[in-house]
Structure 1
């Protein structure tokens, strides 16, 4: 037995020591008390180890050697621990993975029967059902036995001395300290850390707010958006759980969806948000559970079993209600819809205008459910919107951010790729890819828009020359605002995806269709990715602000101007590059947004440059360090990410589970987990397959002739 590992003791040996040194009360110590005692020692040992760290670890840092999930892996994954992912997933045989992984595994060997399934197969080991209850090791009737056991183990040298050699040469805190280099990093291990962060987040929600649409992790309360709940968090997180192979959690979520989720509620909901999160989440769960049945397998998912098509049935019911939003005079959907009344409703502000991005970010979802059900009207309703928007004949493919559902014309001239504008551009290229490149009209529109972005919105910062995408709040003929929402950081990954079609850059360059334009697009993607990463490096917590401003020349430099930004971000707080960035006091909040890690995922998959994985790992550690809620609360968004300790907003966004952690998981996964040339991922990170349209579907419209600037020729 290694002297630093008290948990190598066999249970009988521990009891034998107690019999010779303790009173009769200690002799009668139950296995529950021994387990609790060892748990207390583990906590003490962990606290001692933390003293050697260069920073403070969150109070509720996840137990990454979770023995109950190791038990689940053994039950569901035969004899090896299978790395969670798609077909051809790699196998990880390291049983002592994670923080104190080997220690906890040996504790589990003492008291768990590995041949039987745990009551909750992947329930976190470190937290009891309620943290409000007094910890078992602090109860008076167990105090003496606990102290005796600690004394015996200490006497035997259990805690070791400074010169003792640890069991493993790898530092147990390597995942947080970042001491591993890119060449020695174990990405499957890092992926498991993401799984643990997800399980901690989900279990906190399940413990304190199961069934509620909102979760406040600090106050540990839930809140409903509709009388009976919309399944906002449950449905949004479902496909992430499937990908991560978290079987018992999927079973819990599925049971709630089966017995408690009803969309027959007299409730007004956002057409866009409900489509991308709820409809998208159900459709993705349907796709993954059928395409990868080995992931989180459930008995009632067997072909022919009752409830086999539960996700699709719920999705069809929801789509039938949401499609009522498209019943406007123009075909542009209303901003809201009443689910029970099947009635579309105009926005309460902006003169009743809908958000342009929101009306044009429904197409992937409605086209996929049309393909699944054969109901062509879903397809036709969604596609009509694209025709109406395009018939406005905007200059250089750049659309204002509001549009009237009444007549299909734009409201105002505000043009940006941030909120209310962003995913219009994202869904142009993704519609083209969704139908296996059979609808070139959307590629044409994407190319036109990207040229417009280069011409009107791209400029460079001073003094360092970073590339940014600004805004034209008063139209293309008026001033450029050097403002970037964090939302804009979807663009690097989307540009790279468009340039290669989902192939790796190396593969795409071998294609006869590769051009200098593709080369230039990849360079733009790289430069924007660096700028977005700088948003994180600039903040005290290492987590980006909601909005960042930049210092630019007056007049702004054109996209063709020479620029040479630094290759790396100097950590010196007085470094020159920091002058380029500027965050206003009202914009310092961090909402756990996914856009930057989303782009890191695409950039890693497409370029193969490991720095994008390393940036993602550093970002993940910042989330762990600064957003963890004490007492098993999970993780919260922040009110000020430029202050340490960062004040919390007491809210866990559903996209933390649906997008942010999913993209971290995919970033650290093998490339055959959701391969980019086989799937298309919606704006809420829900995965759909690419498909051929077949005879039933077609592009039901054609673009009107345009001049060189994109204006319609009469």
Structure 2
């Protein structure tokens, strides 16, 4: 996972190696730090952000991701390739893979903010922060129906960039302090947000990040880190393969368990895997099965099949447990390779296992049908056991079975579950525009029902935003259902979702748009009565899952309502999570002596003798009161995922075409490629009992 899916090396590196190694895109002047993505506007936007034009200028990026879908990627092994440290007599080769993914993202974010330690490293806010504050004051006046005016989506996309450029592994935007996860920092935020900077054409910041990564990033800290979190956040780039290899060399020790299932954590200095200190020592099922895209891509780039085999083995171990209807308990023992407990959910600790089933299939250009089979089986299980409907509004709920499939249903959805609408639509169409996908001879009734389910769940996820005072969803939402929950099988007893895809195909089938059964969102009194938000669940961490699904749903269906929902959501984030400073006349940038934080949700009492500016964005402790309670914390996924998906949602459809790429669970972009040689499925499923 090099460079968030960007595999170009710098021109200087290649010339020094005396090789003619070119990615399949044309290079031109004004490239983004060696990525080969030319900008159409090198004059800058004049906003003080150090940007060079908008994302629309990255024409060559689309050439790289689009075009020849099943291209053979350049293989890093074609270059003089150093031997990974875990290769050879001591079998020390395998650790390179894990490191590569984690390395690049973490490095880049550090640089973007110029260091984690001192408040002075926050960087200037200036005119952009003041303009954002003024814009927030116009929100009420903007609340006219979208149909009554022409929408400038390019202008809206630029607003996302403005928010991104307002200001640590973890950053505290209220107190203006950073906190390192390890001594010296891991560049967690800067690495995670690097490809967002590239998409937005923030050239100078990308250059700054590359410089810091090259000169300052180290991964030899004697500290334990989460195996999964480090992998998904840190892709690398060709220029940094040695740093990536160093980190991977350390991370792959997590896989050295008796079963091959990775331990929950690993010590970076000793490269020893560490069982979880909770949950009986078991690893999260989602975390153990959500490193496959990253390792497989690294195997493709390096030509080292061992990386591929290590993570494929995890999938084999998991599938050999033969979980009922493809629904897995949320914990698995690394030592035994067996599940712990019977808790079934698609929220925390379960979610991305299902996401990576269909994405592994798409990553290899549909060359590994075993993962499509597993995805279809799981979606059938979800439809059969977990989809229920609310009591009054009949909104679809993807519920939980805490004690197993033969026990009671819990009508609860983590915000994390809201990745599913988009993922279901992606699985049905493989990223194609729906109208085009329906022209395929293989289109079936089942796929139309999958799209219907995606629409219903998308509507439910959006309703959790509309249900709160701030318009921002809680971390967890509960729903009222009938005493005997109404299941999908009760509403659609003959649903094709209960049949394997091959059994639901019918050459005489005519595609059709199926009607939603849920109440209109305009009938708020009806559907809102079904929503319960508990006091301990009102926090909002600026999570990306709902806007992620809005992005997929808009790109796939072409329905403009998903874009409009996203715009409303974006404005709610800006209005309620912005950290705003009051600046008295004579104050200077970086001088905190006469500055104070005010509430961004309401107009300031006195604006005659002071100005105001947005200086950051923060998570909320309570999103169901106005003004909300701020948490003084900004997670790296706010920049790496949430803002990236807003930016892409407001972009033209041909900007990073969904049918040509795969996004990992941290929204880093990988091109699709073909399997071949040693890089192919090395296992088969056991017969189902």
What band does the TM-score fall into relative to the shorter chain? 0.7 to 0.9
Equivalent residue, structure 2, for 1:336: 265
CA contact 1:85–1:669 (8 Å) conserved in 2: no
TM-score (norm: length of structure 2): 0.73
Partner of residue 289, structure 2: 360
The 3-state SS of whatever aligns with 2:478 is strand
Going from structure 1 to structure 2, the CA distance change for 1:502 and 1:132 (only over 3 Å counts) comes to: closer
Indicate if the aligned counterparts of 1:122 and 1:247 stay in contact, CA closer than 8 A. no
Question: Which residue of 287, 293, 313 corresponds with 1:384?
Answer: 313
State how many pairs are aligned: 531
Call closer, same or farther: CA 1:121–1:430 in 2, change over 3 Å. Answer: closer
Counterpart Cα distance in 2 of 1:73 and 1:217: 18
Which structure 2 residues correspond to residues 416-495 of structure 1 after superposition, within 5 A?
Answer: 416-495=345-424
Q: Pairwise mapping of residues 9-20 of structure 1 onto structure 2 (< 5 A)?
A: none
Instruction: Classify 1:71/1:226 alpha carbon distance in 2 versus 1 (closer, same or farther; 3 Å).
Output: closer
Deviation at 1:72, TM superposition (A): 8.5
Q: Work out the CA distance in 1 between the residues paired with 2:646 and 2:293.
A: 23
C-alpha separation between the residues in 2 aligned to 1:404 and 1:250?
A: 40
Matching of residue 503 in structure 1 with residue 432 in structure 2: yes
**Residue 455 of structure 1, CA deviation:** 0.6
Q: Distance in 2 between matches of 1:445 and 1:373?
A: 28
Instruction: Tell me the alpha carbon deviations over residues 155-187 of structure 1, each in whole angstroms, 9 at most, x when there is no partner.
Output: xxxxxxxxxxxxxxx999479824362561111
Q: Out of 117, 142, 157, which is 1:191 matched to?
A: 157
**Alpha-carbon contact 1:84-1:243 (below 8 Å) kept:** no
Residues 134-156 of structure 1, C-alpha deviations (whole Å, 9 max, x = no match):
x99xxxxxxxxxxxxxxxxxxxx
Question: Which contiguous aligned blocks of 4+ residues in structure 1 show a shift greater than 6 angstroms?
Answer: 71-75, 120-123, 128-133
CA contact (8 A) 1:86 1:674 kept: no
Aligned to 1:276: 232
CA contact (8 A) 2:521 2:527 kept: no
Q: Is the 8 A contact 2:330 2:349 kept in 1?
A: yes
| In structure 2, C-alpha distance between the alignment counterparts of 1:172 and 1:502, rounded to whole Å | 38
User: Partners of 2:664 and 2:140 in 1: how far apart?
Assistant: 30
Shift of 1:132: 12
Could you tell me which residue of structure 2 aligns to residue 262 of structure 1?
218
Partner in structure 2 of residue 600 of structure 1: 550
Determine which of 69, 73, 76 is the counterpart of 2:45.
69
Secondary structure at the residue paired with 1:555? strand
Counterpart-to-counterpart distance in 2, 1:514 and 1:469: 25
Asked whether the equivalents of residues 72 and 122 of structure 1 are also in contact (C-alpha less than 8 Å), the reply is: no
| Partner of residue 628 from structure 1, selected from 567, 578, 601 | 578
1:181 aligns with 2:163: no
Give the deviation of 1:345 after TM superposition.
1.0
Map Cα deviations across residues 469-515 of structure 1 (whole Å, 9 max, x no partner): 10000000100001100000000000000000111101110111111
Aligned to 2:442: 513
| 3-state SS in 2 of match to 1:677 | helix
Give the counterpart of 1:370 among 296, 299, 311: 299
Which structure has the greater CA radius of gyration?
1
Change (3 A) 1:319 1:558: same
CA drift at 1:83? 2.9
Matches within 5 A, 1:219-298: 219-278=175-234, 280=235, 282=236, 286=237
Q: 1:584 is matched with which residue?
A: 534
- Local SS of the residue matching 1:561: helix
Partner of 1:394: 323
Q: Quick one: structure 1 residues 85 and 68, their matched pair in 2 at CA, closer, same or farther if it must change by over 3 Å?
A: closer
Q: Aligned equivalents of 2:569 and 2:224: distance in 1?
A: 36
Report if aligned partners of 2:519, 2:526 keep a CA contact under 8 Å in 1. no
Q: How far is 1:673 from its partner?
A: 1.6
Matches of 2:358 and 2:549, distance apart in 1: 15
Give secondary structure in 1 for the equivalent of 2:630.
coil
Relative to the length of structure 1, the TM-score reads: 0.71
Question: Where in structure 1 are there 5+ consecutive unaligned residues?
Answer: 1-66, 91-119, 137-169, 205-211, 287-308, 707-712
- Once residues 254 and 75 of structure 1 are traced to their aligned partners in structure 2, the CA distance between those partners, rounded to angstroms, is 15
- Aligned partners of 2:629 and 2:483: how far apart in 1? 36
2:113, 2:122 within 8 Å by CA — same for their partners in 1?
Answer: no
Select the structure with the greater relative contact order (CA < 8 A; seq sep ≥ 6): 2
Counterpart position of 1:6: none
Alignment of 1:539-688 (within 5 A): 539-562=468-491, 564-570=517-523, 575-631=525-581, 632-688=614-670
CA apart distance, 1:312: 3.5
Change (3 A) 1:506 1:313: farther
Distance across 2 between alignment mates of 1:75 and 1:364 = 30
Unmatched tracts of structure 2, length 5 or more: 1-42, 64-110, 128-134, 492-515, 582-613
Relative distance call for 1:374 and 1:551 in structure 2 (3 A) is: same
Question: Per-residue deviation at 1:339?
Answer: 1.3
The 3-state SS of whatever aligns with 2:184 is: coil
Distance 1:414 1:75, change over 3 A: closer
Go from structure 1 to structure 2 and tell me whether the alpha carbon gap of 1:605 and 1:636 turns closer, same or farther (over 3 Å shift).
Answer: same
* 3-state secondary structure, aligned to 1:342: coil
| Equivalent pair of 1:176/1:621 in contact (CA under 8 Å) | no
From the superposition, tell whether residues 71 and 352 of structure 1 become closer, same or farther in structure 2 (CA, over 3 Å). closer
- Residue 61 of structure 2 is aligned to residue 83 of structure 1: no
- Quote the RMSD (CA, aligned, Å): 2.8
Could you say what secondary structure the match of 1:490 adopts? Answer: helix
| Contact kept in structure 1, 2:351 and 2:417, CA below 8 Å | yes
